[in-house]
Amino acid sequence: MKDFDVSLYLVTDRNLLKAGRDFYDAVEESLKNGVTMLQLREKDISSKEFYEIAVRLKDIAAKYNVPFIINDRIDIALSVDADGVHLGQEDLPCSIARKIMGDNKIIGISAGCVDEAVEAERDGADYIGAGAVFYTGTKKDIGEAIGLLNLKKIKEAVKIPVVAIGGIKYSNAPDVMRTGVDGISVVSEIMASDDVGFATRRLKEAISK
C-alpha cells in the first residue's frame, strides 16, 4: 500500500530562494514545519548535478518521513531510490513510467483538464497534479490557468488524490481546498518566503480551515 499525503506538497525551485539562503536548510525547515510531500524539480542542469542534489534531498525527506518525488527524470528517481516521480504532459507517458518503475513507486501526473486526469488514472497514476489553478510565472510549461471550477471537475472525475498546482498562496488556499481537492502544491509561497517555517505553518493552517 502506498502511503502518502498530498495535503501540503512542496515543489522546489532553487532560483526563488532569497539571497544568501541555503537550499537544503530551506527545504528542511519546510519539512519540519509541516510539508507532507516533497518534489525536486530541476531544469537545465547536468544529470550528475541533478543526482547529487537528489541524494541530499532524499536524506532530508527521509529524516521527516516525507515521500520524496523527482520531477520528470525517472532515471534520477531510480538512481536515488526516490519514492516516485511527477510527470507532466510533455514528459514520459505514465504507462511507460509504471513499467520502468514498478508498482510500488508513486507516479503523479499533471493534468490541465478532466480528460488528462481520467487518462492518467486509467494509466496507473497514483495522484493528479491539477492546474495551473491560477496564473503563475513559476512553471511556464503547465499552460493556461484552469480556475477553481475546472479544478473541482477534475477532482470529481477521478478516485485518486488530486493536488492543486499553480499560483496557490496562503490567501487563496482555503478557496482551493473548498473545491474538494486533497491538497495544495506550492513553490514560491514557501521557497521565496523570508521565513520558510512561518510560511509553511501559515499554509498548514489555511488548508485546515
Q: Which of 96, 144, 180, 205 binds its own copies (CB under 8 A)?
A: 96
Shortest Å distance, C-beta 114 to Ni ion: 8
> Within 86-125, which residues bind Ni ion (CB under 5 A)?
113, 115
Per CB under 8 A, the list member of 23, 51, 64, 170 interacting with its own copies is 51
The answer to whether 100 contacts its own copies (rule: CB under 8 A) is yes
Closer residue to Ni ion (CB): 31 or 111:
111
- Minimal distance, residue 50 CB to its own copies, in Å: 9
41 a catalytic residue: yes
Q: Is 39 annotated as a binding residue?
A: yes
Smallest distance, Å, CB 96 to its own copies? 5
Q: What is the 3-state secondary structure (H, E, C) of 28-69?
A: HHHHHCCCCEEEECCCCCCHHHHHHHHHHHHHHHHHCCCCEE
Residue number, 107 or 191, with CB nearest to its own copies: 107
Q: Which does 11 bind (CB under 5 to 8 A by kind): its own copies, Ni ion, none?
A: none
The amino acid occupying position 187 is V
126 labeled part of a ligand binding site: no
Q: Of 4-12, 22-30, 93-101, 172-180, which segment contacts its own copies by CB under 8 A?
A: 93-101
Residue 79 in contact with its own copies, rule: CB under 8 A: yes
List contacts with its own copies (CB under 8 A): 46-49, 51, 72-76, 78-79, 87, 89-93, 96, 100
Residues marked active site are found at: 41, 110, 139
